[in-house]
Structure 1
Amino acid sequence: MQSKSSIKSINMTLLCLTACICQNLYAEAGSTEPVLLPTLKIEATRTDTDWLTTPASVYRIEQKNNENNLAVNLSEILKGVPGLQLNNRENYAQDLQLSMRGFGARSTFGVRGIRLYVDGIPATMPDGQGQTSNIDLSSLDHIEVLGGPFSSLYGNSSGGTVLTSTKQGEGRDSIELGYSGGSHHKGRANMTLQGGADKAGEPSYVVSSSYFDTDGYRDHSAARKVLSNAKLTWDLEDGSKVNWIVNHVDMNADDPQGLTREQWKANPKQVNDAKNIYDVRKEINQTQTGLTWTKPINDQHELYTMAYAGHREVTQYQSIPNTAQANPRHAGGVIDFSRDYYGTDLRWTGKDLLPNTRFTAGFAFDAMDEDRQGYENFDSAGNYGVKGKLRRDENNTLWNLDPYLQASWQFLPTWRLDTGLRYSNVHYQSKDHYIQGTNADDSGKTDYDKLLPSAAFTWEISPQLSTYLSYAKGFETPTFTEMAYPTTGTSGINFALKPSSSDNYELGLKAQNLLGNFTAAIFHSETQDDIVSAGTLDGRSTFQNADKTLRQGVELSWNKKLWRDLTAQASYSYLDATFDADIPNTDPQKVVYSGNYIPGVAKNQAYVALGWQPETGFNAGIDVRYMDKIYVNDTNSDVAPSYTVTSANIGYIWKNNDWKVRSYARIDNMFDENYVGSVIVNDATQPKGRFFEPADGMSWSTGLSITKAF
């Protein structure tokens, strides 16, 4: 158990570290002449501030600096962001494992606890369930990653926020054709059309489409993915701006599942079921569209409107034996659902209505209507991997209507106060249509709500140095998927699962001078009723509430253009994420004690990268990433070991007025490290848990693209 004195010691150590960094950077800034450095506007916090004076841990990643890769997974782009843990499962059926400061680490598939946005449109459902599969890297412009207290501005499940933005068409019409290939018969073909508007009122456009397939690193891990993305932009004569976005993804992926430690050591490439009788796999089809409109009324007032709608279908075949499905209340071994979702966000911004102030007020509405069925994964002849008899049939609906208010007051020339208030509420209802024998009516409904205040003080110590102190209340509801199975029994919605709430504190420092861009942040988060895994058995993930959890740590980052086109980047994260109260259990072996580490979370992460990135000609880069060990379950009985991996890439760009040719080659995991890419938290498969999802060994890829302007 971690004592209060030890926590106090950690906090004092981190405070002293920040103070020392602040003193050194301030001395450096004071000893140099003022320099004109690039201004980087930040959109995520809605405060109309640049990076240096934004009172939050926020990072912007430019896609143009990360083009030497296959452009399939978000993990290829989001490297070295402090506090962000992004693990590639080498399993396209289960998406990436994404967590921020330990929030979201429990997820066995998809993304939980973190808000995702694509061009201002939520890629996270109202209940907090998100996915990254529809993010198109071919047409991506940049990504903003927002962590810490300010994430509460986005409401439910905002342990962090990731916002991606598609390029805006510009200049002459052009077409780009590209192909990339790599290890395990990976192949990706893409085409991008784009062009700018000649005059106001005409649209600029970007239309991108790609096809990707692979045999997969592991046995039974093949995948096929078709992704299309289109964005039309109108810059109108009255100063308003309209964006229309359409996105479609169609994916089929085999699932090799997790391995036991013995299986991983013997052969990390193997599928869990050696005979592959269950043919575990997932099929996804999703289409969504959205419209954003920004309208400046005058110098003081501005309106913003966003509306979106989408349709998602998922069919998943699991590895559940027919003996388990003999229970009449079992929901079957095939999950099949169809989901319609839609929403809007309306916002008004007022500037200088009072001296040196900025107000934002609005409301966000989101809704989801889901038809979910469950089927047996075998037929009358005993063949697995097929859709059999119906075992579950229900309609699930949920919606939220969140009013919010933000205010910013520059009350002194170098001091600013930012405040926010959001009323987050989510309303669930499930109607059960499968009522047979002992399988009773499991219909029900529940409501969750929380008032989320936030506040931040910013002090601009000098034009090159600022510091901030912030606090916010966080809120996270269980997703419908997490409520789908109770901890006892085999069917019905777990309405007993409560939402979690958290108190989040952060002290930060930022510097931008001749030595580069620096950040340092100390954070402390206390969570009540944290949603944690209660075990995964036969593909069924169940969840429970932990009375108290604690997350605290420090994050450091630095980047600089060293000489001409030579850039350097480094980051370090320390995260102490623990249970702060016991979780009792009738089985003494399963009691979770206060002081145990939260599984799925690395205590230390580090990243270093060098890049030579001219606009044309030869380019190259190398990066090294370190990840500390990760506990696989709440009792901390086993771990995935720490690892260090190195990647390198080279490329060449040639262009003239009409043509551009880009080529690249890269090697990942250069030294063929045998490591676990991610873990399945609290897997309870007997006799030993299938916790481990092995990562790829040394792998390569290469690609060529040709662009022609007209």
Structure 2
Amino acid sequence: MHASAHRHGFAWIALCAVAPACAAPPVATLPRVQVTATRTPQRADAVPAAVSVVPLREGRRDLAGAAVAERLNGVPGVLARSRQNYAQDEQLSIRGFGTRASFGIRGVRLYVDGIPATMPDGQGQLSHFPLLDGARIEVLRGPFSALYGNAAGGVLQLFTVDGVAPAQTRVEAAAGSFASRRFGAERRDRRGAFDYALGLNHFATDGYRAHSRAQRTLFNGKVNIAAGATQLTLVANALWAPDALDPLGLDRAQFDTAPAQAVDAARRFDTRKSVTQRQFGATLAHDFGGDAQLRVLAYGGRRDTTQYLAIPVAAQASPLSGGGVIDLASPYAGVDARWTQSTTLAGEPVEFVVGASLDRQQQDRRGYENFVGTQLGVRGALRLSQDDRVRATGAYAQATWHPASDWMLMAGVRRSDIRFRSRDRYVAPGNPDDSGAVRYRATTPVAAVGWQVSPDWHWFAAAGRGFETPTFNELAYRSDGGSGPNLQLRPARTRSVEAGVKFARGEAVSEFVLFRADTRDELTAATSSGGRTTFQNAGAARRQGAEWSAQWPLGSRWRGEFALTWMQAEFRDGFLACAGTPCPVADVPVAAGTRIPGVPRRQAYAALQWGDDTGWQLRIDAQHVGTVSVNNVDDERAPAYTVFGASTGYGFARADGEGRVFLAVGNLLDRRYAGSVIVNEGNRRYYEPSPGRNVTVGVEWVWGAGLR
């Protein structure tokens, strides 16, 4: 590690010698960005942890859809992929955690206005994120994410806008290639101690690929009520996404010859997915004399999912088959209470946070055959009925102490207790009662130190432990082919460290970080047969690398944005895996030192933007992603790619409001590439192609005040 640190240190010095991002321009000092990712508001440039803030009301409004991945390209250490498949969630990983997920998001904690979008079992989704109503995204990378509990390889939080005075009404519309279109309307108002923001957004597309039509409608509402030292925040969110078609992944030959196609199985079984979700949350905060605060969050919701899979009819002949149609009702609820106390220690300021949380998740799962007689893609006979429950309790404490004006010490610990229980309600000949339960517990301490070298420079170092349990889907099947859940799976446990330097002067900010995370009992795929994928603990794994990012004014109207990531992610122990399907027994050796699939060694992003809020605007960006291994045995890789985009727009203002029109071109050079991969896909259909050159045009208007 020391040699690596020296090498990257020299690279940083060399970069500073040739890049304007290391010069100190004489720019005006602006208010420093505040973040809450470490549970207490702190300046982003001073907090001793790797935290990135992505503002959503500034800069890019020219994006084709409502995908979170489109906003995260400039965050180092983050791999966010839009799959061009709205029947599956976007892909998201932080420092290599979460890449094993073939659907949904694992290994990363997700929140919207404090409400978890990651369930207690560790699986989350981005589909209900109200991006067009968002104010900012905070991304916490590294050790301190462990204070959020299970599956916190990183933390991503979306914060939506509040009401404003005078009142604003905003509408926006865009249309583009593949009959993609979106429309959004938002109303914000503030009257005394009461404010609200309401947003309704609709997105639809025929899809770049065949059999990929989709639509989504999303409502988000937030109300803030202040009464003296007490503030109440109410949040409501609803998603409706009916019959999103799933083109499935492509094998390498299909990807090379006709990337826009859907595989034959997708058409024959009419693979598709419907989702509805409704949730409500309330946060009550009360200040006690300015030195203490009590904050209580309560939330609840329900997510209903129906999905038609392409599992062959023959594979469903086994009495243990769960069929090819998933019908899942998932109510969930939770509460989190924390006390924050400001005092002094040895005469210097210190802040303590203590809290506890309880989260419950229920999955009423039904499985049906995806055929009736010779007709495919319809709901047939019942093959699975089970009720799954998980309860997660946690207690945490954190302290932030400033022993001197230029030093900061942070330390924290969390105790987590997660209980899974599955009750089998479908018992038939050859399919015995598969009920079972398992319990996981972990203590995850973290600590960090920060030093303000000068008004513009901060150094920091952090270390901690984290853990990740298997999700319900990963516990579902035993790898030995037997009946019942795989209750022998162990949680993955990680020790991580990071050290970095931050620079901030006015609008100019930069960050460089070195990190390493060592995991034991790494979770990964084991076997694939009959539509079932099983999981195993693969021993030790290591993820290490370097991250650099910068945002810099390059003149009176020019601004640059840059991000670089180098990462080495590999299995440290050998194990057995599968290289195709059917594979009832893992029989292919994976040697120690093999790359972890889904993690590129190199990522880079650069953007140049010119213009102000009014008048002409121009933006050019480029993204590079290195080769990606697509399975555990590393016998095939998705090729590296570099793509460019460009946009132009015109902002205008009148007495009654202001607006903007824009034109954006994606994949400017019409490059063929796989924007995402389905890691360890059992049929070797790993590739999800991205579209060629595409165009989006749009307009937005705000009555009442500015766009921000």
Q: Give TM-score, length-normalised by structure 1.
A: 0.94
Is 2:107 aligned against 1:78?
Answer: no
Cα gap change, 1:438 to 1:247, in 2 (>3 Å)? same
Aligned residue pairs total: 694
Structure 2 counterpart SS, 1:547:
coil
Could you tell me whether the CA contact under 8 Å between 1:653 and 1:662 is conserved in 2? yes
Aligned to 2:582: none
Alignment map for 1:200-279 (pairs within 5 Å): 200=193, 203-236=194-227, 238-252=228-242, 253-273=244-264, 276-279=267-270
Q: 2:537 aligns with which of 545, 563, 568?
A: 545
Structure 2 counterpart SS, 1:356:
strand
Cα gap change, 1:19 to 1:352, in 2 (>3 Å)? farther
Q: 1:445 aligns with which of 415, 423, 437?
A: 437
Aligned to 2:36: 43
- Of stretches 142-151 and 562-571 in structure 1, the one that deviates more from structure 2 is 562-571
Q: Which amino acid aligns with 1:246?
A: A
Aligned to 1:150: 144
Structure 1 counterpart SS, 2:700:
strand
Cα distance per residue 1:449-477 (max 9 Å; x no partner): 11000000111111110101110101101
Could you tell me whether the CA contact under 8 Å between 2:459 and 2:500 is conserved in 1? yes
Q: Which amino acid aligns with 2:230?
A: S
Q: Which amino acid aligns with 1:231?
A: K
Distance 1:661 1:20 in 2: 42
Cα distance per residue 1:337-376 (max 9 Å; x no partner): 1011000110111112433111000011110111101100
Distance 1:154 1:42 in 2: 15
Shift of residue 497, structure 1, vs aligned partner: 1.5
Cα gap change, 1:489 to 1:621, in 2 (>3 Å)? same
Shift of residue 225, structure 1, vs aligned partner: 0.8
Structure 2 counterpart SS, 1:563:
coil
Distance 1:613 1:351 in 2: 43
Shift of residue 662, structure 1, vs aligned partner: 2.1
- Of stretches 33-42 and 628-637 in structure 1, the one that deviates more from structure 2 is 33-42
Alignment map for 1:184-195 (pairs within 5 Å): 184-195=178-189
Distance 2:48 2:154 in 1: 15
Q: Which amino acid aligns with 1:101?
A: R
Shift of residue 210, structure 1, vs aligned partner: 1.6
Q: Give TM-score, length-normalised by structure 2.
A: 0.94
Distance 1:211 1:561 in 2: 35
Q: Which runs of 4+ in 1 moved over 4 A?
A: 15-25, 31-35, 535-539, 585-589
- Of stretches 336-345 and 11-20 in structure 1, the one that deviates more from structure 2 is 11-20
Could you tell me whether the CA contact under 8 Å between 2:494 and 2:517 is conserved in 1? yes
Q: 2:326 aligns with which of 314, 327, 335?
A: 335
Shift of residue 300, structure 1, vs aligned partner: 1.0
Alignment map for 1:654-669 (pairs within 5 Å): 654-669=652-667
Q: 2:687 aligns with which of 671, 681, 692?
A: 692
Distance 1:322 1:37 in 2: 63
- Of stretches 280-289 and 31-40 in structure 1, the one that deviates more from structure 2 is 31-40
Distance 1:641 1:538 in 2: 30
Q: 1:650 aligns with which of 639, 648, 651?
A: 648
CA RMSD of aligned residues (A): 2.2
Shift of residue 124, structure 1, vs aligned partner: 0.5
Could you tell me whether the CA contact under 8 Å between 1:476 and 1:500 is conserved in 2? yes
Which segments of 5 or more consecutive residues in structure 2 lack a partner in the other structure?
579-584
Cα gap change, 1:458 to 1:267, in 2 (>3 Å)? same
Is 2:82 aligned against 1:88?
Answer: yes
Which segments of 5 or more consecutive residues in structure 1 lack a partner in the other structure?
1-6
Cα distance per residue 1:585-633 (max 9 Å; x no partner): 6989611110000000111000000112412222221110000000011
Aligned to 1:555: 547
Shift of residue 304, structure 1, vs aligned partner: 1.1
Cα gap change, 1:675 to 1:183, in 2 (>3 Å)? same
Aligned to 1:121: 115
Aligned to 2:339: 348
Is 2:367 aligned against 1:374?
Answer: yes
Shift of residue 28, structure 1, vs aligned partner: 7.7
Shift of residue 21, structure 1, vs aligned partner: 8.0
Structure 1 counterpart SS, 2:155:
strand
Shift of residue 194, structure 1, vs aligned partner: 1.5
Could you tell me whether the CA contact under 8 Å between 1:659 and 1:706 is conserved in 2? yes
Structure 1 counterpart SS, 2:124:
coil
Cα distance per residue 1:14-48 (max 9 Å; x no partner): 355568889999x989x999973431111111243
Aligned to 1:482: 474
Could you tell me whether the CA contact under 8 Å between 2:29 and 2:506 is conserved in 1? no
Structure 2 counterpart SS, 1:481:
helix
Distance 2:439 2:337 in 1: 23
Shift of residue 513, structure 1, vs aligned partner: 3.1
Q: 1:455 aligns with which of 443, 447, 450?
A: 447
Q: Which amino acid aligns with 2:364?
A: D
Cα distance per residue 1:404-446 (max 9 Å; x no partner): 0000111122112100000022110000000101101110001
Aligned to 1:398: 390
Q: 2:294 aligns with which of 292, 295, 303?
A: 303
Structure 1 counterpart SS, 2:473:
helix
Aligned to 1:704: 699
Q: 2:560 aligns with which of 542, 547, 568?
A: 568
Q: 1:429 aligns with which of 417, 421, 426?
A: 421
Aligned to 2:358: 365
Cα distance per residue 1:116-166 (max 9 Å; x no partner): 000110001001110000111221111001101111111111100000000
Distance 1:418 1:443 in 2: 43
Q: Which amino acid aligns with 1:324?
A: A
Distance 2:531 2:587 in 1: 22
Could you tell me whether the CA contact under 8 Å between 1:15 and 1:522 is conserved in 2? no
- Of stretches 351-360 and 78-87 in structure 1, the one that deviates more from structure 2 is 351-360
Could you tell me whether the CA contact under 8 Å between 1:537 and 1:683 is conserved in 2? no
Structure 2 counterpart SS, 1:620:
strand
Could you tell me whether the CA contact under 8 Å between 2:27 and 2:507 is conserved in 1? no
Aligned to 1:179: 173
Could you tell me whether the CA contact under 8 Å between 1:71 and 1:138 is conserved in 2? no
Cα distance per residue 1:48-85 (max 9 Å; x no partner): 32111111111101112221123411122112100000
Structure 2 counterpart SS, 1:53:
coil
